[in-house]
Structure 1
Amino acid sequence: MELLFPLLILALLVPMFLGIRRQKKEMAKTAELQDSLNVGDRVLTTSGLHATVVELGEGTVDLEVAPGIVTTWSRMVIRELLVEDDEEFEEEDIDEIVDEAAADETPAVEKAPVEETPEETKRRLDTE
Protein backbone atom coordinates (compact mmCIF):
# COMPACT_ATOMS: atom_id res chain seq x y z
CA MET A 1 0.00 0.00 0.00
CA GLU A 2 2.92 2.32 0.69
CA LEU A 3 4.23 1.84 -2.88
CA LEU A 4 0.89 2.71 -4.49
CA PHE A 5 1.26 6.49 -4.22
CA PRO A 6 4.81 6.66 -5.73
CA LEU A 7 3.75 4.32 -8.55
CA LEU A 8 0.72 6.51 -9.25
CA ILE A 9 2.90 9.63 -9.41
CA LEU A 10 5.36 7.83 -11.67
CA ALA A 11 2.54 6.62 -13.95
CA LEU A 12 1.36 10.21 -14.39
CA LEU A 13 4.76 11.87 -14.81
CA VAL A 14 6.31 9.49 -17.39
CA PRO A 15 3.70 10.10 -20.16
CA MET A 16 3.81 13.84 -19.45
CA PHE A 17 7.61 13.86 -19.73
CA LEU A 18 7.51 11.87 -23.00
CA GLY A 19 4.87 14.22 -24.45
CA ILE A 20 6.91 17.31 -23.62
CA ARG A 21 10.01 15.73 -25.13
CA ARG A 22 8.17 14.87 -28.37
CA GLN A 23 6.76 18.40 -28.57
CA LYS A 24 10.22 19.94 -28.18
CA LYS A 25 11.57 17.75 -31.00
CA GLU A 26 8.74 18.85 -33.30
CA MET A 27 9.31 22.51 -32.45
CA ALA A 28 13.03 22.18 -33.16
CA LYS A 29 12.30 20.50 -36.49
CA THR A 30 9.85 23.27 -37.45
CA ALA A 31 12.32 26.00 -36.43
CA GLU A 32 15.04 24.34 -38.53
CA LEU A 33 12.67 24.22 -41.53
CA GLN A 34 11.77 27.90 -41.15
CA ASP A 35 15.45 28.88 -40.95
CA SER A 36 16.36 26.84 -44.03
CA LEU A 37 13.83 28.49 -46.39
CA ASN A 38 15.11 29.71 -49.74
CA VAL A 39 13.60 31.91 -52.43
CA GLY A 40 11.63 29.74 -54.85
CA ASP A 41 10.65 27.05 -52.32
CA ARG A 42 7.06 25.80 -52.43
CA VAL A 43 5.60 25.83 -48.91
CA LEU A 44 2.43 24.98 -47.02
CA THR A 45 1.28 27.33 -44.24
CA THR A 46 -0.49 26.38 -41.02
CA SER A 47 -3.73 27.65 -42.57
CA GLY A 48 -3.35 25.30 -45.56
CA LEU A 49 -2.17 27.88 -48.08
CA HIS A 50 0.15 26.61 -50.83
CA ALA A 51 2.58 29.32 -51.97
CA THR A 52 6.04 30.09 -53.32
CA VAL A 53 8.65 31.96 -51.28
CA VAL A 54 9.53 35.23 -53.06
CA GLU A 55 11.51 37.13 -50.42
CA LEU A 56 12.85 36.42 -46.94
CA GLY A 57 13.02 38.94 -44.10
CA GLU A 58 14.28 38.65 -40.52
CA GLY A 59 11.00 37.37 -39.10
CA THR A 60 8.81 37.52 -42.20
CA VAL A 61 8.49 35.78 -45.52
CA ASP A 62 6.82 37.08 -48.69
CA LEU A 63 4.72 34.40 -50.36
CA GLU A 64 3.36 34.41 -53.90
CA VAL A 65 -0.06 32.81 -53.65
CA ALA A 66 -1.02 33.38 -57.30
CA PRO A 67 0.85 34.84 -60.27
CA GLY A 68 1.58 38.46 -59.35
CA ILE A 69 -0.04 38.29 -55.89
CA VAL A 70 2.52 38.50 -53.07
CA THR A 71 1.57 38.58 -49.39
CA THR A 72 3.76 39.00 -46.30
CA TRP A 73 3.56 36.39 -43.54
CA SER A 74 5.38 35.59 -40.33
CA ARG A 75 7.96 32.81 -40.74
CA MET A 76 6.19 30.93 -37.97
CA VAL A 77 3.24 30.08 -40.24
CA ILE A 78 5.34 27.87 -42.52
CA ARG A 79 4.42 24.28 -41.66
CA GLU A 80 6.17 22.25 -44.34
CA LEU A 81 8.23 22.42 -47.49
CA LEU A 82 6.44 20.96 -50.51
CA VAL A 83 8.47 18.77 -52.84
CA GLU A 84 7.61 19.06 -56.52
CA ASP A 85 7.07 15.88 -58.51
CA ASP A 86 9.79 14.96 -60.99
CA GLU A 87 7.19 14.62 -63.75
CA GLU A 88 5.92 18.11 -64.39
CA PHE A 89 3.39 19.02 -67.03
CA GLU A 90 4.17 21.69 -69.53
CA GLU A 91 1.47 24.13 -70.59
CA GLU A 92 1.14 22.37 -73.97
CA ASP A 93 0.51 19.04 -72.24
CA ILE A 94 -2.24 20.58 -70.12
CA ASP A 95 -3.88 22.08 -73.23
CA GLU A 96 -3.85 18.65 -74.90
CA ILE A 97 -5.41 17.00 -71.85
CA VAL A 98 -8.14 19.64 -71.71
CA ASP A 99 -8.83 19.29 -75.46
CA GLU A 100 -9.08 15.49 -75.18
CA ALA A 101 -11.42 15.74 -72.20
CA ALA A 102 -13.62 18.22 -74.06
CA ALA A 103 -13.74 15.95 -77.12
CA ASP A 104 -14.81 12.96 -75.01
CA GLU A 105 -17.74 14.77 -73.46
CA THR A 106 -20.96 15.07 -75.36
CA PRO A 107 -22.56 18.45 -74.89
CA ALA A 108 -25.46 18.28 -72.51
CA VAL A 109 -28.38 20.35 -73.65
CA GLU A 110 -30.51 21.43 -70.80
CA LYS A 111 -34.14 21.71 -71.67
CA ALA A 112 -36.48 23.93 -69.79
CA PRO A 113 -39.41 22.04 -68.28
CA VAL A 114 -42.39 22.04 -70.61
CA GLU A 115 -45.82 22.66 -69.23
CA GLU A 116 -48.12 19.76 -70.12
CA THR A 117 -51.81 19.50 -69.86
CA PRO A 118 -53.18 16.55 -67.89
CA GLU A 119 -54.30 14.86 -71.12
CA GLU A 120 -50.82 15.18 -72.67
CA THR A 121 -49.24 13.76 -69.53
CA LYS A 122 -51.61 10.79 -69.55
CA ARG A 123 -50.88 10.14 -73.24
CA ARG A 124 -47.11 10.38 -72.67
CA LEU A 125 -47.22 8.00 -69.71
CA ASP A 126 -49.41 5.53 -71.58
CA THR A 127 -46.94 5.37 -74.49
CA GLU A 128 -43.93 4.80 -72.18
Structure 2
Amino acid sequence: MSLVTLLPFIVLIGAMFLMTRSAKKKQQAAAQMRNDMQPGTGVRTIGGMYATVKEIQDDTVLLEVAPGVHAIYAKNSIGAVLDDAEYNRIVHGDDDLKADDAVVPDDASSLTATETADADTEAADDADVAKIDLGKKAEGDAAESKDSEVKDAKADGEGDAK
Protein backbone atom coordinates (compact mmCIF):
# COMPACT_ATOMS: atom_id res chain seq x y z
CA MET A 1 0.00 0.00 0.00
CA SER A 2 1.15 3.45 -0.70
CA LEU A 3 1.54 6.29 1.76
CA VAL A 4 -1.20 8.29 -0.04
CA THR A 5 -3.71 5.54 0.73
CA LEU A 6 -2.79 5.44 4.42
CA LEU A 7 -2.68 9.23 4.91
CA PRO A 8 -6.45 9.72 5.52
CA PHE A 9 -6.42 6.96 8.15
CA ILE A 10 -3.41 8.48 9.90
CA VAL A 11 -5.06 11.90 9.97
CA LEU A 12 -8.29 10.37 11.35
CA ILE A 13 -6.46 8.52 14.13
CA GLY A 14 -4.54 11.68 15.04
CA ALA A 15 -7.75 13.74 15.19
CA MET A 16 -9.42 11.12 17.41
CA PHE A 17 -6.39 11.17 19.72
CA LEU A 18 -6.54 14.97 20.04
CA MET A 19 -10.30 14.99 20.70
CA THR A 20 -9.99 12.26 23.31
CA ARG A 21 -7.12 14.07 25.01
CA SER A 22 -9.08 17.36 25.09
CA ALA A 23 -12.16 15.66 26.56
CA LYS A 24 -10.02 13.90 29.15
CA LYS A 25 -8.48 17.23 30.19
CA LYS A 26 -11.93 18.76 30.62
CA GLN A 27 -13.05 15.81 32.74
CA GLN A 28 -9.97 16.09 34.92
CA ALA A 29 -10.51 19.83 35.38
CA ALA A 30 -14.15 19.25 36.39
CA ALA A 31 -13.13 16.51 38.84
CA GLN A 32 -10.48 18.80 40.34
CA MET A 33 -13.06 21.59 40.69
CA ARG A 34 -15.43 19.23 42.53
CA ASN A 35 -12.63 18.00 44.79
CA ASP A 36 -11.74 21.61 45.68
CA MET A 37 -15.26 22.28 47.02
CA GLN A 38 -15.44 23.25 50.68
CA PRO A 39 -18.45 23.61 53.00
CA GLY A 40 -19.81 27.13 52.65
CA THR A 41 -18.90 27.38 48.96
CA GLY A 42 -21.56 28.51 46.49
CA VAL A 43 -22.19 26.15 43.56
CA ARG A 44 -24.36 25.86 40.47
CA THR A 45 -25.70 22.43 39.54
CA ILE A 46 -25.80 21.20 35.96
CA GLY A 47 -29.54 21.84 36.15
CA GLY A 48 -28.92 25.53 36.88
CA MET A 49 -29.80 25.59 40.60
CA TYR A 50 -27.67 27.72 42.91
CA ALA A 51 -26.96 26.37 46.39
CA THR A 52 -24.46 26.42 49.24
CA VAL A 53 -22.36 23.34 50.05
CA LYS A 54 -23.02 22.11 53.59
CA GLU A 55 -21.33 18.70 53.67
CA ILE A 56 -19.16 16.68 51.28
CA GLN A 57 -19.05 12.86 51.09
CA ASP A 58 -17.19 10.55 48.70
CA ASP A 59 -19.75 10.61 45.87
CA THR A 60 -22.42 12.97 47.22
CA VAL A 61 -22.71 16.51 48.47
CA LEU A 62 -25.30 18.02 50.82
CA LEU A 63 -26.55 21.35 49.45
CA GLU A 64 -28.62 24.03 51.12
CA VAL A 65 -30.94 25.17 48.33
CA ALA A 66 -32.87 27.61 50.54
CA PRO A 67 -32.50 28.61 54.19
CA GLY A 68 -33.16 25.43 56.15
CA VAL A 69 -33.83 23.32 53.02
CA HIS A 70 -31.19 20.66 52.32
CA ALA A 71 -30.86 18.23 49.43
CA ILE A 72 -28.36 15.49 48.61
CA TYR A 73 -26.83 15.61 45.13
CA ALA A 74 -24.27 13.50 43.32
CA LYS A 75 -20.90 15.22 43.06
CA ASN A 76 -21.08 14.86 39.29
CA SER A 77 -24.17 17.09 39.26
CA ILE A 78 -22.12 20.12 40.31
CA GLY A 79 -21.56 22.20 37.19
CA ALA A 80 -19.53 25.06 38.66
CA VAL A 81 -17.98 26.13 41.93
CA LEU A 82 -18.48 29.88 42.29
CA ASP A 83 -16.40 32.39 44.19
CA ASP A 84 -18.14 34.25 47.01
CA ALA A 85 -18.57 37.53 45.13
CA GLU A 86 -20.17 35.90 42.09
CA TYR A 87 -22.43 33.67 44.21
CA ASN A 88 -23.66 36.63 46.28
CA ARG A 89 -24.21 38.72 43.15
CA ILE A 90 -26.35 36.00 41.55
CA VAL A 91 -28.26 34.66 44.54
CA HIS A 92 -28.63 37.69 46.80
CA GLY A 93 -28.65 40.37 44.11
CA ASP A 94 -25.72 42.24 45.62
CA ASP A 95 -25.30 44.31 42.47
CA ASP A 96 -24.11 47.86 42.30
CA LEU A 97 -26.90 49.37 40.21
CA LYS A 98 -26.00 52.62 38.56
CA ALA A 99 -28.52 55.43 38.30
CA ASP A 100 -28.41 55.19 34.49
CA ASP A 101 -29.32 51.49 34.43
CA ALA A 102 -32.87 50.62 33.41
CA VAL A 103 -34.90 49.05 36.21
CA VAL A 104 -37.38 46.37 35.22
CA PRO A 105 -40.52 46.32 37.41
CA ASP A 106 -41.55 43.13 39.20
CA ASP A 107 -45.13 43.42 37.97
CA ALA A 108 -47.05 45.01 35.12
CA SER A 109 -48.64 47.75 37.23
CA SER A 110 -46.34 50.39 35.78
CA LEU A 111 -47.36 49.38 32.28
CA THR A 112 -51.11 49.86 32.82
CA ALA A 113 -53.04 53.12 33.14
CA THR A 114 -53.34 54.26 36.74
CA GLU A 115 -56.12 56.78 36.27
CA THR A 116 -59.70 55.86 35.38
CA ALA A 117 -59.89 58.92 33.13
CA ASP A 118 -57.38 57.34 30.80
CA ALA A 119 -59.46 54.16 30.66
CA ASP A 120 -62.65 56.16 29.90
CA THR A 121 -60.86 57.98 27.08
CA GLU A 122 -59.68 54.70 25.59
CA ALA A 123 -63.22 53.25 25.77
CA ALA A 124 -64.59 56.30 23.96
CA ASP A 125 -61.91 55.94 21.28
CA ASP A 126 -62.79 52.27 20.81
CA ALA A 127 -66.47 53.14 20.31
CA ASP A 128 -65.55 55.55 17.50
CA VAL A 129 -63.72 52.85 15.54
CA ALA A 130 -65.77 51.66 12.56
CA LYS A 131 -66.75 48.00 12.53
CA ILE A 132 -65.08 45.89 9.90
CA ASP A 133 -67.30 43.68 7.74
CA LEU A 134 -65.88 40.16 7.84
CA GLY A 135 -68.56 38.72 5.58
CA LYS A 136 -70.66 37.48 8.47
CA LYS A 137 -74.31 38.33 8.65
CA ALA A 138 -76.43 38.96 11.70
CA GLU A 139 -78.84 36.20 12.79
CA GLY A 140 -81.88 37.94 11.25
CA ASP A 141 -79.97 38.43 8.00
CA ALA A 142 -78.92 34.77 7.99
CA ALA A 143 -82.51 33.52 8.31
CA GLU A 144 -83.67 35.89 5.57
CA SER A 145 -80.81 34.77 3.33
CA LYS A 146 -81.69 31.09 3.88
CA ASP A 147 -85.32 31.70 2.90
CA SER A 148 -84.29 33.44 -0.30
CA GLU A 149 -81.93 30.56 -1.19
CA VAL A 150 -84.78 28.05 -0.78
CA LYS A 151 -87.08 30.17 -2.99
CA ASP A 152 -84.35 30.44 -5.64
CA ALA A 153 -83.81 26.69 -5.60
CA LYS A 154 -87.53 25.99 -6.06
CA ALA A 155 -87.69 28.48 -8.91
CA ASP A 156 -84.83 26.67 -10.63
CA GLY A 157 -86.58 23.31 -10.24
CA GLU A 158 -84.22 21.95 -7.63
CA GLY A 159 -86.89 21.80 -4.90
CA ASP A 160 -88.66 18.65 -3.70
CA ALA A 161 -90.66 17.17 -6.51
CA LYS A 162 -93.76 15.40 -5.17
Aligned CA-pair RMSD: 3.7
1:27 match: 27
Quick check: 2:54–2:63 contact (8 Å CA) kept in 1? yes
In structure 2, the CA distance between the partners of 1:90 and 1:5, relative to structure 1 (3 Å rule), is: closer
Letter in 1 for 2:53: V
Q: Which has the higher contact order (CA 8 A, sep 6+)?
A: 1
Give the TM-score taking structure 2 as reference length.
Answer: 0.55
Unaligned runs of 5+ in 1: 94-100
Larger-Rg structure: 2
Residue 83 of structure 1 pairs with residue 83 of structure 2: yes
Contact map agreement 2:34 2:81 (CA 8 A) in 1:
no
Aligned length: 111
Q: Is 1:51 the counterpart of 2:82 in the alignment? A: no
Q: Normalized against structure 1, the TM-score is what? A: 0.67
Q: 1:106 to 1:74 in 2, by over 3 A?
A: closer
- Structure 1: how far apart are the matches of 2:111 and 2:18? 60
Q: 1:31 Cα deviation (Å)?
A: 1.0
For 1:107 and 1:84, the matched residues in 2 are separated by 39
Matched residue SS, 1:10: helix
Q: Percent identical across equivalent pairs? A: 28
